[in-house]
Structure 1
Amino acid sequence: MHITHLRNATVLLEFSCQGRPVGLLVDPMLAPRGTLPALRYLGKGRERNPIVDLPPGTDEALERVTHALITHCQRGHFDHLDSAGKRFLRERQIPVICMPRDAGYLAQRGLVVLPLSGPERQPFALGGHVTPVACVHGRGWIARFMEHGHGYLLELPGQPSVYLAGDTLLTPAVRDCLARLRPDVAVLPAGGARFDVGAEILMDAADMAQAAALTPGTLVVNHLQALDHCPTTREAVRALAQQGGWDHRLWVPEDGERRRFLPTDTAVCY
């Protein structure tokens, strides 16, 4: 399996299903830099989003897309499916895998929808099995305004198991997935996102250290340095991993970076 990190939560998983190449695009935010609203309203850190361009090679990567997977997309969560992402999926009639809650919303926007059956482990449209894992995208009063969504554990024949966490805090459900289901690769959000008021709505660098203690697999960290309300830097995560001695199991990709992951959990950088 190859994983290409494009920007923020947008990644491309590439693998083979019954001898056919599959390109699974996760949470496409494809808008040009600075064309989406700011997510902070006070202070000097406020910028229009995304705060970085899509990386070189994005067009070539998108040509390899055959399917899409959405963790959440309602209540204004443009950072996981924006207008440009919808247009891309609609124009190319890319089948979109999602939870039942999002199926109607996506179908109304002209997308080809392949809804999962619910929150239980189930056969996956691309082979193997998928297990949805509920997200908690903030606690307290701020949680009332958030779309919590689901992450997904993908178990595909002949491929490393991959947990795509989605937007979530380090909850008991996430801990259980890491410790009990033991994915070979866990793609986790470490941006430490927060608005001008309220608590964090996303994991941060310190949560990555806790996650590393729960699973022997590789941690892939995203949600970094792409949105104005995510203060965690790549350098902060790498430094903490080095201090804790788990940096050999960490990949903090630059935008556009691609790696190959084997079932043995060995990664090769391309």
Structure 2
Amino acid sequence: MKITQIRNATIVVEYANKKFLIDPMLAEKGTYPSFPGTIRQDQNNPSVSLPTSVDDIISGVDAVIVTHLHLDHFDEAAQRLLPKNIKMFVQNEDAKEVQNTGFQNVEVLTKDTVFEGIQLVKTRGEHGRGEELLKLMGEVCGVVFKHPSEKILYVAGDTVWYEGVQEELDTHKPDIIVVNGGDNQFIEYGSLIMGKKDIYEVHKAAPNAKVISVHMEAVNHWTLSREELKNFSKEKGFSINILVPEDGESYTF
């Protein structure tokens, strides 16, 4: 297994000899306006450039997984640049919207999806806290990868720590966990994804797993920096269990 951080929530997972592109945001730096109701309203998105060319990112991709349709997970550039016949895995009603953008090979993730011998298990998530915010943000998902030749991988997606994540950890017992950890926030509602305390809860629930924190410092509403997370993990004594990649950095397990 090889996991490469591209930018924001966009990662490449090479697993059981297949290459997956997850949550592609492929636009050039500064293409989109800042998210309303958030900090840094003077900063366009994405706030950093891709670490490599789009051609390098999408070359050889066997399937794309889109955990939900927010701009920073599936943007106009991805819709334009990805081959329309590529295999796409999405959640529920998102399939119709993805098909409407021209993609022809779209499948809805379930609890027992199989792709080229790899089991893909759709997992739950909550994109913030509180009924009003959850309604505003809509449904999201994550995915667990399983194959006899590989360690178990859990990509949590845009979720905060809550009992649903605990249940996914208890059920699947992943060896590697990718969390979206920038603590991105709306000023009025608070956190939309995991902050440092959420990530610490993930570690405590799966103390033997390696946790990789992505979705950091790439769109205007982040509040948790890589450096702060690294320092916090040292203070709490779990720095050996957490990886905080720079854009373009890869890990092999």
TM-score by length of 1: 0.87
Partner of 2:148: 157
Deviation at 1:90? 3.6
**Alignment RMSD, CA only?**
1.8
Amino acid at match of 1:139: R
Instruction: Give yes or no for contact 1:137–1:202 (8 Å, CA) kept in 2.
Output: yes
Amino acid at match of 2:101: R
Deviation at 1:147? 2.3
Partner of 2:50: 54
Q: Which residue, out of 70, 74, 77, partners 1:81?
A: 74
Amino acid at match of 2:19: G
2:111 pairs with 1:115: no
TM-score by length of 2: 0.93
CA distance in 2, matches of 1:58, 1:86: 12
Deviation sequence 1:159-179 (CA, Å, 0-9, x none): 111111111111211111223
Amino acid at match of 2:161: L
Deviation at 1:243? 1.6
Partner of 1:198: 189
**What's the % identity of the aligned pairs?**
29
Deviation at 1:116? 3.2
2:240 pairs with 1:248: yes
Amino acid at match of 1:60: D
Deviation at 1:9? 0.5
Deviation at 1:41? 4.6
Q: Which residue, out of 43, 56, 60, partners 1:64?
A: 60
2:136 pairs with 1:136: no
The 1:238–1:45 alpha-carbon spacing in structure 2 relative to 1, beyond 3 Å, is farther
Deviation at 1:45? 5.5
The 1:10–1:117 alpha-carbon spacing in structure 2 relative to 1, beyond 3 Å, is closer
CA distance in 1, matches of 2:4, 2:226: 17
Q: Which residue, out of 198, 216, 219, partners 1:227?
A: 219
Amino acid at match of 1:2: K
CA distance in 2, matches of 1:102, 1:67: 16
Amino acid at match of 2:235: Q
2:176 pairs with 1:185: yes
- Report how many aligned residue pairs link the two structures: 251
Deviation at 1:237? 1.1
The 1:116–1:44 alpha-carbon spacing in structure 2 relative to 1, beyond 3 Å, is closer
* Secondary structure of the corresponding residue to residue 14 of structure 2: strand
Amino acid at match of 1:182: K
Deviation at 1:12? 0.4
The 1:165–1:117 alpha-carbon spacing in structure 2 relative to 1, beyond 3 Å, is closer
Deviation at 1:130? 2.2
Deviation at 1:99? 2.1
Amino acid at match of 2:32: L
Partner of 1:23: 19
CA distance in 1, matches of 2:174, 2:147: 11
CA distance in 2, matches of 1:54, 1:246: 29
* Secondary structure of the corresponding residue to residue 201 of structure 2: helix
The 1:44–1:203 alpha-carbon spacing in structure 2 relative to 1, beyond 3 Å, is closer
Partner of 2:34: 38
Amino acid at match of 2:64: A
CA distance in 1, matches of 2:251, 2:126: 29
Deviation at 1:123? 3.8
The 1:243–1:153 alpha-carbon spacing in structure 2 relative to 1, beyond 3 Å, is same
The 1:117–1:203 alpha-carbon spacing in structure 2 relative to 1, beyond 3 Å, is closer
* Secondary structure of the corresponding residue to residue 105 of structure 1: helix
The 1:39–1:247 alpha-carbon spacing in structure 2 relative to 1, beyond 3 Å, is same
Instruction: Give yes or no for contact 2:26–2:54 (8 Å, CA) kept in 1.
Output: no
Deviation at 1:117? 5.8
* Secondary structure of the corresponding residue to residue 198 of structure 2: helix
